[in-house]
Amino acid sequence: MIKEGKFGPAEAIVLLAVSNVARIFLPYPRSLVEMGGPAAWITPIGGFAVALAGAYIMSLLLKKNPDNTIIEITEEAFGPALGITFNLITIAFFISVSFLFVRQFSEALIIAALPETPISVIAAVFLAIGLLGAYLGIEAIARSTRLTYIYVFGGIVFLLFALIPQWNFDNLFPVLGNGFFPVFGLGTFSTAAVTEIILAAVLVQSMGGADKYVRINFFAALIAFTVLSILLAVSVLTMGKEISTETTLPFYRLSRNIYLGRFFQRVEALFIIIWSIVGALKIALTLYGAAVSLARTLKLPDYRPLIWPLGLIIFILSFLPPDLPTTIKLDTDFLRVFAHVPNYLLPLLLLAAYWLKGRVRRAGN
């Protein structure tokens, strides 16, 4: 139906990994430090386990329909009315991710690099690149990610490990931080939303089918959760729990702390390059996900005409929150909870629907 490109598993892994990693540049890690205290770095472990379970459940669904994506499967399982409702929820999720990321990335850039630039200019530039990426298609996005990921992950690793001289291992104690429930309970609930299983399920046909789905998701999640865990550990090691909780952008703050001698210090500009590349790729990807899901829901032959209106909607939505704290609150209280609906609730409901249908059919026989 819709002409999507095809790319290999290696490209799919880095594409999803970069998409998952995007969160660590935002105020998100701060809330994890608040939640887990010195043990914040343990919180992603529970989330990783849940994400793998979610990917497995999703793969069961996708394997039942090897030629379809999650959008068609939902409609087939729930019927037109309920199916389209669920699909619209998925699309709403992509749009929410997209507009909250546009806003947070733009705000973060104003804090970090361009204090006197109007936010609309930065958001417009981000969206313009997102539009271009989504217009050129998933193949171009995947190839660009494949070309840039070495610099992105290399940069992240460099920035984190350049801080070794400032690490203080006393900061990591007590080992369990704020207690068992905040670290493993709340932490798991919060970090499980880092991976977007639903996005991978929408792109499954481009990634080479359902057979490779679990493997791709496993490696993508492994990279993302490892990076997140290391970042949280480095943040607490370097700045301690208190300062990590206070700063809005922990990663940016860390990059400013780098001091490897008189000549090499304050490399946040390097950080901005990585940061904005990841942001642009993430926005392009979610915009593409929203457009393709909508086109599939509406059974349109092409997704491209939808990109411009969706981009405009995202642009306007991104300015609705009055300030950065409201945006962060929306991200924490709304998006992080809402994310569980398409990522985990929907596949479970679908499985239940298939199971029920099977039972009814067997009873009929």
Stretch that binds another protein, among 35-43, 126-134, 175-183, 285-293 (CB under 8 A): 126-134
85 vs 265, which CB is nearer to another protein? 265
| Contact code string over 143-172 relative to another protein, x by CB under 8 A | xx-xxx------------------------
| Contact code string over 280-319 relative to another protein, x by CB under 8 A | xx--x-----------------------------------
Q: Are 126 and 102 in contact (CB under 8 A)?
A: yes
* 119 touches another protein by CB under 8 A: no
Q: Are 295 and 303 in contact (CB under 8 A)?
A: yes
Q: Which of residues 1-30 bind another protein (CB under 8 A)?
A: 7-8, 10-11
CB of 111 to another protein, least distance (A): 12
Structure tokens at 309: 């209106």
CB of 18 to another protein, least distance (A): 11
Size of interface with another protein, in residues (CB under 8 A): 39
* 133 touches another protein by CB under 8 A: yes
102 vs 272, which CB is nearer to another protein? 272
Helix 138-161 × helix 9-21 angle, to 10°:
60
Rounded distance, CA 194 to CA 196, Å? 6
| Contact code string over 224-263 relative to another protein, x by CB under 8 A | --------------------------------------xx
Q: Which of residues 52-111 bind another protein (CB under 8 A)?
A: 109
Cα dist from 333 to 26, 290, 327, 347, whole Å? 15, 22, 10, 22
Q: How does 80-92 read in b/e, with b if 16+ C-beta sit within 10 Å?
A: eeebbebbebbbe
Structure tokens at 63: 């394997």
Query: Cα 56–59–60 angle (5° rounding)?
Result: 90
Query: From the list 48, 126, 184, 344, which residue makes contact with another protein (rule: CB under 8 A)?
Result: 126
Query: From the list 13, 22, 42, 122, which residue makes contact with another protein (rule: CB under 8 A)?
Result: 122
CA 348 to chain centre: 21
Q: How many CB atoms lie within 10 A of CB 284?
A: 28
* 331 touches another protein by CB under 8 A: no
Q: Is the peptide bond before 66 cis (omega within 30 degrees of 0)?
A: no
Q: How many CB atoms lie within 10 A of CB 120?
A: 12
Structure tokens at 348: 């479970």
Which DSSP category does 266 fall into? -
Site residues, another protein (CB under 8 A): 7-8, 10-11, 109, 113-114, 117, 121-122, 125-126, 129, 132-133, 136-137, 139-141, 143-144, 146-148, 262-263, 265-269, 272-273, 276-277, 280-281, 284
